Amino acid sequence: MVRLHREEEQEEQEEHDGKERGVGSEGATVVEIGRYPPSAAAGKGGAASQTDVAEEGDFRYYEGGWRAWGNVVGAWLVLFASFGYTNAFGVYQSYYKLYTFPSHPDSDISWIGSIQLAFFFSLAVVAGPCFDRGYFQWLIRIGSAIYITSIFLIPECTKFWHVVLVQGLMSGVGVGLVFLPSMSIISHFFLKRRSFVIGIAVSGSSIGGIVFPIALNKMFSNPSIGFTNGVRITGYIIAACLLVANLIMSPHPERQASPKPRPPSVKGIFDRQYSLLVAGAFLAAFGLFFPNFYIQVFCQVNGLSENLSFYSLAIFNGASVIGRTVPNLLADHLGPLVLSFEECSSSLNVALCCRFGATSAGGAIVVSLLDGFFSGAYISLVSPVIISLSRNIEEIGLRQGFGFIIVGLAALGGNPIAGRLLANNNNNFNAPITFAGVMLVAGSVCMFYGRFLQAKVKGTWRV
């Protein structure tokens, strides 16, 4: 009788513990929010104080602690040094056209930045699966070394094809290896505030897009510094940022210790809503990066002041800082799909169309602010949207990998097409602006339908 009574007490205790862990009577896993006690937080979250934690199945998201926020700071530095520097390519586009390769049309020069962008996104198809298999730190280290080397090799290039190989191909490969892992690692530590925290990290690219264009323009125009030393100085800044990032970023300890799962099937990844959203992103990418490449050239062609031309790219990227944080904060409450693709791309299209009349200083500034805000919002929500479509944490890297490689193909061709339209119309921007706007509208339509299907599957508009 005593043994039977003890067995009943043990079964009741196990049932109670199961409910606390978020496992229902039928074995269904639910997400539960709780707190680690101070001692557990020190060991698990890396902080001595209490740390919020969210559980999804057997996986814990720390929602804070030095390890989690260290990865956010590291991702910010990576994006500042990589995507932020890529956002400054408009300075190189202008300098190469005026001084280094004046005989080459804009469409040829834009191939340098387009190849860089293409590898920037396309390498995600390699980095994503490697990240899922636990090679996060190897990706960051190898990518950083390749990228830093490419920056210091740019001043040594003497021919156009040298620049294509170094600044386009080599730099793109380096950035491609560090970009997706630094974004994805955040999703292993944050669940409740994931979109907002990713937005904070992505804002590093906007800050870099402010700092680097101003610095490069000032140094290139200063005879005592010039192009060669100017590029090398930015190389030292990038090297310092990536060194710190490599030191403070680390994978989730539970994820690192767990057995590596079998990768999901490609067929299972491409459901209807994911396929539509990626197709929409592909179309939108043909027009998305047009302002980054041509906003400074636009100001120069329309006879605006040299000072405004220099700062136009910084104004654009300054507005994107707000665009990459505020919408992400709302996305954690309303759902990333609600605020993301079709709204941001449609609004960006409106801003691009406004550029038809932005031939005065005031008009150029206003439209640059609109372009920057909406493009920043769009880019910062890409990763949260793809993550929200993933059925489990093992799919995150692969889904982002396929999504970004498809976007990379569009980024490869979009700006050279715009450059060719510009050259064929005697530097009249009406044709390239129209092309960019039409592609953004087409992308918005696909994304809107994809969001509709996802809302239907989830049974709620908050997706």
- Considering the chain, what is the average pLDDT of its residues? 77
12-16, 210-214, 261-265, 322-326: segment of lowest average pLDDT: 12-16
SS3 305: coil
CA 461, chain centre distance (Å): 25
* pLDDT computed for residue 20 by the predictor: 43
Digit-coded pLDDT (tens) for 122-141? 888 788 788 877 888 899 99
CATH 1.10.357.10 fits 59-458, yes or no: no
Contact 289, 88 (CB under 8 A): no
> Which residue carries 């179309």 as its tokens?
283
Q: Coil, helix or strand for 40?
A: helix
Domain chopping of the chain, boundaries? 2-56, 59-458
Q: What angle do CA 299, 417, 411 make, to 5 degrees?
A: 95
pLDDT band, very low/low/confident/very high, at 42 (cuts 50, 70, 90): very low
For residue 56, list its beta bridge partners. 31, 59
Residues 187 and 317 sit within 8 Å (Cβ to Cβ): no
Average pLDDT rounded to a whole number, residues 283-312 = 80
Residue position matching structure tokens 């989690």:
68
With tokens 């406004």, the residue in question is 354
For the entire predicted model, the pTM comes to 0.70
- Could you tell me if 142 and 127 are in contact, meaning their C-beta atoms sit under 8 angstroms apart? no
Cα gap 345→145, rounded to integer Å: 34
With beta carbons less than 8 A apart as the criterion, state whether 258 and 431 touch.
Answer: no
